Amino acid sequence: MEMKQPRGKILFEDGWMFVQEKITVPYAVKAGMTGGITDTGCPEDIDDGDWLKIAYTDRGMDSRELAWKPVQLPHDWCVEQQYVASDDIGARPGSHGYLPSGTGFYRKLFTVPAQGLGKKWSIRFDGITGSSTVWVNGHLLIEHRGGYLGFACDLTDVLRYGDEGENVITVKVDTTDHEGWWYEGCGIYRHVWLEYTERLHIAEHGIQVATPEITPDYALVTVKTEVSNEHTTDANIRLHTAVYDQDKRLVASSSLVALAPWYAGTQLEQQLTVEHPRLWSPEQPDLYSVLVTIWHGEAIADSCQVMFGIRSISFDAEQGFILNGIPTPIKGTCNHQDFAGVGVALPDSLIDYKLRLLKEMGSNAYRSAHHPAAPELLDLCDRLGMLVIDENRKLDSSSTGLSQLKELIRRDGNHPSVIMWCMENEEVLEGTVTGARILKTMADTAHRIDPARQVVAAMNHGWNEGGYSDVIDIVGYNYGQRDAQDIRDREDHPGRLVIGTESASFTTTRGEYADDPERGYCSAYGTNLPSWSCSPEKAWNDVMQHPFLTGVFLWTGFDYRGEPTPYLWPCINSHFGIMDTCGFPKDIYYYIKAAWTGEPVLHLFPHWNWQGREGELIDVRAYTNLDAVELFVNGVSLGVQQTEGPGELQWPVVYVPGELRAVGRRNGLVCAETTVFTTETPCRIELYPHRTAINADGADTVAVRVAVTDQHGRVVPYADNDILFSVTGPGRILGVGNGNPSSHEPDKANRRRTFHGWCLVLVQSSGGQGILRLQAASPGLAGAEAVLQLK
């Protein structure tokens, strides 16, 4: 471990061991004497005695030998288990995707060099599901509840430095209670960091950047820095702050001298001016960085950099959301954090993959439902250009609840992507006076920390009762289209700021065109919708017709584990997604893309393989944003249909094998054509990696789409072949999936059946250089190979 700089942040994810066991670890009656698996062994230089044996032994272990196995963090052990048809799993039947939770232990040995003595050391967990307990060298450091906000432990006093000996950290993860009614996973599922600083340093989340004044000529940048002096004498310091643009050019700087009192924190404020600022937006997400350096005498005591963006945001009762002075309709999706093959333990590259899929669809906004997002997701939203509703877990003004809210805002306040703080989602106390009191305390707390952003509550009832909506800045309507509630409320509350925080819930299954309760499938035609839902067309058209609605967050961008609706078992995930759990687009995806992008879109469905139904009428539809579409069956025109804006067209067509072809025109000119063929039998496998270069960092992951095609390269819509995968070179198979909401195949495997011709395999680098080859094979099919270049 090299320590050349005064501050270090080390990714702490290799070398962990894991066991899924319920172990009783007694509370130690002496400091550092928890013992057993929480330390490296019983000290040899103290006298033996009954009291010591009691303190140092893990009661409840008996003579068991633990089956520890090596794991790479982030880790979700829940997705490694088998599905169980029990309604007792989760907060309510099916909510956890029929995967059991439980208790597990993580353990890691590590050393700290002698030169680390005298510095401040901490470990930060960005996310551990459920309740967690952390011991280091037998010392109980923290018992933490809540899986969506990280926490840090000060290790300075309990570490062993140099030849003092080896260190051991033990983490207990108890997921038997649930925070949500969706799949939450099990384990240390976000990043872990070992950090050190000098005793004179910038505090955690100690740099807060604001841009209170923005003009075309300049932007005023305010930087508040919290300096922590943990020496026992005062320190005279010089604080230097520099602002760099995206091209790493210095654009502003400022210095001040100050006294940092001993054993205390001090907040210092500086104002800088950036000339001709480049404004952050979803279309052009320009970023700046602030580098803050503490000088103590002639030496640098600490230096820390944070990213920020320069942009103005406001909300208007007539025009909705205004970004940099321009009314900007919000095209959002709500999303949980899981994905096929990995559960909730997503590598950063898979978070990036999901966000890019949403951007390609035309989305400009992301709601992290219903909890704080991973820090890496917000970093990526900053870089990619995605607006964010950053969401608090629940309505709670207790000391714990407010502490978590404050942590959320301090952690995420510098992100230009974050445009508002959501206090809660669909709480029972909405519309009550008690709820309003709790909500007001939370809103006031948020405003005190961050006066630049507004707060919202994602409500599904009680909008006009109990004074609840009066204590927040923006009123969120979940499914406000019911009885036109969001529009009717406009009459009585013309000045109310509103937004569609959740809408649609359009339950469909990719590739299915009839409702099938027995197998748990919903027709892509949208014929089996929940009572509270509506079509995405309805949700978006309301926004276009009534700009005061600001925008909409469709439920959801992706299918997610748990909360199967409208069916329970055998379904193990939801049907709400615009894309399935693998990111494969459903038919409704193309309506969204037609409505949210300017590019010509013409999507024809269903498939044209209806053997045994010759002569029957098939409901043929198209999603498009073109003016007119002409449909042909085997070269014979069925006429032209006109459209008024993005929407759906429909033809009853007698099934004859061959081809369907649609031709779309705009202003009389052909802009798009698409053809659906009757395919032949499955012939071969095709592999489509989302990129062919992979970082040799042991974590980077490439999503490889796998298709079964006929001899002409056309995906066979009924193909369900079992595909076997293998990897040669410095890599591994991280997981597999196929988007089938009723598939009980394991996600941690080297094989997967295709679902309507498609499945997904995730390939992760294991470090090293060279070529990584993925092979795919299946009986009766020609195999395929994808080559990834490590760099």
Active site residues: 426, 502
Neighbours of 128 (CB within 10 A): 28
Q: Are strands 693-694 and 751-753 parallel, antiparallel or unpaired?
A: unpaired
* Strand arrangement of the beta sheet that strand 313-316 belongs to: 313-316, 320-323, 326-327
Q: Is the peptide bond before 566 cis (omega within 30 degrees of 0)?
A: yes
- Determine if the peptide bond prior to 570 is cis (ω within 30°): yes
Give which of 317, 720, 755 is closest to 495, Cα–Cα.
Answer: 317
Dihedral pair phi/psi, residue 171, rounded to 5°: -125, 125
Q: Are 181 and 92 in contact (CB under 8 A)?
A: yes
Instruction: Supply angle C-alpha 780, 783, 787, rounded to 5.
Output: 170
Question: Which is nearest to 524 in space by CA: 532, 554, 582, 516?
Answer: 516
Residue 459's DSSP bridge partners are 477
CA-to-CA distance for 224 and 482, rounded, in angstroms?
Answer: 45
Distance in angstroms (rounded) separating the CA atoms of residues 750 and 763 = 10
Do the Cβ atoms of 380 and 287 come closer than 8 Å? no
* Residues near 637 by beta carbon (within 8 Å), at least 6 away in sequence: 630, 631
Q: Write the CA distances from 483 to 489, 531, 546, integer angstroms.
A: 11, 12, 16
Q: Give 550's contacts (C-beta < 8 A, 6+ positions apart).
A: 315, 320, 321, 329, 330, 474, 497, 498, 499, 500, 543
Closest by CA to 624, choosing from 559, 678, 670, 575, is 670
Contact partners, residue 183, CB within 8 Å, separation at least 6: 78, 95, 96, 97, 99, 336, 338, 343, 344, 560, 561, 562, 563, 573
Torsions phi, psi of 454, nearest 5?
-100, 160
566 forms beta bridges with none
Q: At 313, which amino acid appears?
A: I
Contact by Cβ (8 Å): 776, 725: yes
* φ, ψ (nearest 5 deg) of residue 178: -120, 140
| DSSP SS3 for 85 | coil
Contacts of 448 (CB under 8 A, 6+ apart): none
| 493 burial via Cβ count (<10 Å: 0-12, 13-18, 19+) | middle
Q: What's 472's DSSP letter?
A: S
For every residue of 281-292, which 3-state class applies, written as one string?
CCCCECCEEEEE
Tally of residues, the chain: 791
